[in-house]
Amino acid sequence: MCESTLFAKFVNLKITLLKGKTVIITGGSSGIGKACAFKFATEGANVVISGRNSSNLEIAFQELLKISPNILAVNSDVSEYEDCKKIIDASINRFGHIDVLINNAGISMRGLFADTNMEVLKKVVAINFWGTVYCSKLALPFILQSKGSIVGISSIAGKKGLPGRTAYSASKFAMEGFLETLRTENLKTGIHVLVACPGFTASGIRNSSMGPDGIPQNESPRDESGMMSAATVADHIYIAVIHRKRDLILTFNGKITVWLNKFFPSLMDKIVFNHMAKEPGSPFK
């Protein structure tokens, strides 16, 4: 059999794996979520995106319709249980089943814990952690039926606490603990649970990151030009879902941070502190 024929069969197999499958992506109107929506739609899946910003959601929806008619957009805030229920109900009403849930919706913050408004801390945890819990709880019966996948888009901040990002790190540590437990509970049910840690990505999350008073920064304190793109992250997440991987840690810095923190945690405290202190406008020195 010639090489071109083998390649064509491989491509067809990839498409068959997702054709007709329903993939929900929270926070799917921008950044990594939007990139995942394009990737999975391109690979033949029914794609459901959710987002709080109705304008951004509509733009993403119209762009995705150019790829596939099997797109659904649900305006919702995942920190609200009833909004999460709206996502799941709308997905079932439109497509009849759920095969992959990608818990991507997230928000960050930047500020010393001592200076940060309590409402900022609550908001970050509500979206990043409780949004994952709510959507996973509501989607679980359908994921069990399809023996599908639950994905959490975490962060290296969920492996190593980042100074100036207390609520963000806490929410990601909590997300990972929740998903690890969910995976263990379902060792014999056939469902797949993936924790994906992209590392520093050019996703726009730092632009919307809140300061200690809750006001968005509106610009990134980092040069994002050399960071991994959201599209590249989406490619890795797609492959990890297809191969039902347990964990996904991206970027060299992300991998070395996790490895060093495992064996030299005190050293990593100093390295991370010094690294974060070099950010323009850093809240600590």
CATH of the domain at 185: 3.40.50.720
Within a domain: 11: no
Within a domain: 284: no
Helix (H, G, I), strand (E, B) or coil at 103: strand
Q: Are 116 and 163 in contact (CB under 8 A)?
A: no
Give the residue from 32, 103, 29 showing the smallest Cα distance to 64: 29
Residue 275 φ/ψ, nearest 5 degrees: -65, -45
Q: Which residues pair with 270 in a beta bridge?
A: none
The count of domains in the chain is 1
pLDDT given at position 216: 83
**Domain extent at residue 172:** 17-254
Strand order in the sheet with 22-25: 71-75, 46-51, 22-25, 100-103, 149-153, 192-197, 247-249
Q: Where in the chain does DSSP place strands (E)?
A: 22-25, 46-51, 71-75, 100-103, 149-153, 192-197, 201-202, 228-229, 247-249
- The two beta strands, 228-229 and 201-202, are parallel
- The two beta strands, 46-51 and 22-25, are parallel
pLDDT tens digits for range 36-68: 999 999 999 999 999 999 999 999 999 999 999
pLDDT given at position 9: 46
Residue 124 φ/ψ, nearest 5 degrees: -65, -45
Token pair listed for 21 = 């499958």
Within a domain: 10: no
Using CA atoms, how far apart are residues 184 and 146, in angstroms rounded to an integer? 18
Within a domain: 116: yes
- Given the residues 81, 134, 168, 238, select the one marked as catalytic: 168
Within a domain: 280: no
Residue 80 φ/ψ, nearest 5 degrees: -110, 125
Q: Are 63 and 104 in contact (CB under 8 A)?
A: no
The tens-digit pLDDT sequence of the chain (285 residues) is 455 454 444 444 444 578 899 999 999 999 999 999 999 999 999 999 999 999 999 999 999 999 999 999 999 999 999 999 999 999 999 999 999 999 999 999 999 999 999 999 999 999 999 999 999 999 999 999 999 999 999 999 999 999 999 999 999 999 999 999 999 999 999 999 999 999 776 655 555 689 888 888 666 555 555 678 999 999 999 999 999 999 999 988 899 999 999 999 999 999 999 988 887 778 876
pLDDT given at position 203: 54
Within a domain: 264: no
Within a domain: 266: no
Can 134 be counted among the known catalytic residues?
no
pLDDT given at position 200: 72
Within a domain: 260: no
pLDDT given at position 42: 95
